[in-house]
Structure 1
Amino acid sequence: MTAPAINGTRYPQPVDELLPAARKLELPEGQVLPSRNRLMREFRIGAPKADELLARLREEHLRRQLAEQFGYTPPDERPADEPPADPWLYAEPIGPDPLPAPVVPESAPLVVPDPAPAPVAPVVEPVEQVAAPGHPGTPTDDKPRRRAAVWPVVLLALPAFVAIWSGWVGLGGLTGFGVVHPLPGIADSVSLNTAITLPIGVETYGAYALYVWLSGRVPDRARTFAKWSAIGSLVVGALGQVAYHLLVAAGWTSAPWWITTLVSCLPVAVLGMGAALAHLVREDA
């Protein structure tokens, strides 16, 4: 269930506005509070606001438990003139001791001081708050805001895809990757060039980890892991392109043993990082 928009806008809503909708979320049997991930997903909010909303829900749940177990009503929910059920939890306010009456001689005239004038409340004029253009608090018209176009990214990615694909496939050929028959005895005509596993694995994982890092919809552990693994994947991809072009320019027909060793470990490393990131993304904080 998604909370209704405030004042017809689509900007992030404050916690006070999200709290009634969060109370109405349907929870699985045995669960008393929604998880932070579900609050982030349902209301499209970040981790800090989800933590604050979850803290408010947890406080209300503890108050209800106190009321059910001890019959105690919190002071902020009790009428001002109603004492609590337990007399030990309530005490009459104790003021300062009264001062002794001053002794006035009989010959002295009685002087009655003038009553103090009643305080005058200051007049506060309403101030109109004006937000800067583009700020979330700036009033906008009823037209929905258009998102930025993403098709230029596809145009930019095409030449990069061609260069990266050819570089990884070429480096795979120099390090022992080549054509294999994955179904011997079943379909001998089926062949597969294992060099394509390098660009698919390394570059796809780098793009996915970059998306998880910048999405802001995952737990902190997953975001940290995605950040460093995305940077590492992009660095490894750049080093692979550099190694291939240097080997070709130098006339090498096979890569040195240490380059072959590193390149051979890439599919295994990508599998491990991808599985770890998938578990961290689905982790309930």
Structure 2
Amino acid sequence: MTTATAPSAYPPPIAALLPQARDLADRLGHTPSRNALMKEFKIGAPKATAVLEALTDTDTEAPAEPEPPAARPLHLVPDLEPDTEPAEPPTPVEPLPTAAPVEPEPLPTGAGHPDTTTITITEPEHIPHVSGPRPAGKARKPRSWPVVLLALPAFVAIWSGWVGLGELTGFGVVHPLPGILDSFSLNTAITLPIGVETYAAYALAVWLTGTAPVAARRFARWSAIGSLVFGGLGQVAYHLLTAAGITHAPWWITTAVACLPVAVLGMGAALAHLIQANHE
């Protein structure tokens, strides 16, 4: 039994406290904390910290030998009784019988005997895949002979109408080569159907094909419509004058018909220049 010593008036030095701290550590089995040192030796926090550092340095310099691990007690394990009934071997699975390949029967020929000719099927060559929709069947080009059949009677009517109107307006037979070939004569009335109707067909083709420049197609559209309307009015004027028994057309009809060749020449030249402007 130890007797507690009365605390002295002056705090003990660190050297005197260090052995007591080691004894405390031995009793506790581990390094005491700072609070434990303050409580045990009635010292302040700075001195307890200094004692703890000195104690830790001492333990580091001379580490205690680790205690050997305690031997684990052995215990007996009862032997397991072997299984008296041996496991049955798995039943072998018999493989399914493979069917023999069936050979195709030879086809009978016309004479009643089997055909023994061997047909060899070869794999097709690699065909490159072309992306995109497959083109439909080639469209059949429409035939143009119905247009010719329709144009023949119209040509006869238009030709006779323009020639007759030309004769009523002063167009007639002339000798274009006087003194050179006096026997050569020409009826100038044929210039009306050739000029007006030919230009109308030419302007329609430029307008409807869509390959000409925009300005050329616009000019061809309006000039073709004007030529067809003017041609229709000429046919109406001829038939009205003929039905009325008039042998000479009025002056305003004569003036309009006389200007037709000049107008056709100007419109044809202008349309040709507009078409060529896209290719320059």
CA distance in 1, matches of 2:194, 2:207: 20
2:216 corresponds in structure 1 to 222
Q: How does 1:127-206 map to 2 (within 5 A)?
A: 139-141=134-136, 144-206=138-200
Per the TM alignment, residue 138 of structure 1 is displaced from its structure 2 partner at its CA by: 6.2
2:264 corresponds in structure 1 to 270
Alpha carbons of structure 1 residues 138 and 203: separation in structure 2 relative to 1, 3 Å:
farther
CA deviations 1:18-57 (Å, max 9, x no partner) are xxxxxxxxxxxxxxxxxxxxxxxxxxxxxxxxxxxxxxxx
CA distance in 2, matches of 1:138, 1:241: 52
| Bigger RCO of structures 1 and 2 (CA < 8 A, at least 6 apart) | 1
**Cα pair 2:212 2:278 within 8 Å, conserved:** no
Any stretches of 5+ residues in structure 1 without a counterpart? 1-136
CA deviations 1:83-123 (Å, max 9, x no partner) are xxxxxxxxxxxxxxxxxxxxxxxxxxxxxxxxxxxxxxxxx
CA distance in 1, matches of 2:156, 2:173: 20
2:225 corresponds in structure 1 to 231
Q: Once superposed, what is the RMSD of the aligned Cα atoms?
A: 1.4
CA distance in 2, matches of 1:202, 1:167: 12
Question: Structure 2 length normalisation: TM-score?
Answer: 0.51
CA distance in 2, matches of 1:205, 1:239: 16
User: Residue 211 in 1 paired to residue 205 in 2?
Assistant: yes
- Equivalent AA in structure 1 for residue 230 of structure 2: V
CA distance in 1, matches of 2:133, 2:170: 60
CA distance in 2, matches of 1:280, 1:181: 36
CA distance in 2, matches of 1:274, 1:172: 21
CA deviations 1:172-228 (Å, max 9, x no partner) are 000000000000000000000000000000000000000000011010000000000
Question: Structure 1 length normalisation: TM-score?
Answer: 0.51
Per the TM alignment, residue 145 of structure 1 is displaced from its structure 2 partner at its CA by: 2.4
CA distance in 1, matches of 2:247, 2:239: 12
Q: How does 1:81-100 map to 2 (within 5 A)?
A: none
The number of residue pairs the alignment matches comes to 148
CA distance in 2, matches of 1:138, 1:151: 34
Alpha carbons of structure 1 residues 178 and 138: separation in structure 2 relative to 1, 3 Å:
farther
- Equivalent AA in structure 2 for residue 205 of structure 1: Y
**Cα pair 2:173 2:186 within 8 Å, conserved:** yes
> Which has the greater radius of gyration?
2
Name the SS for the 1:190 alignment partner. coil
Per the TM alignment, residue 284 of structure 1 is displaced from its structure 2 partner at its CA by: 2.2
Name the SS for the 1:182 alignment partner. coil
CA distance in 2, matches of 1:259, 1:236: 12
Q: How does 1:16-31 map to 2 (within 5 A)?
A: none
CA distance in 2, matches of 1:274, 1:150: 25
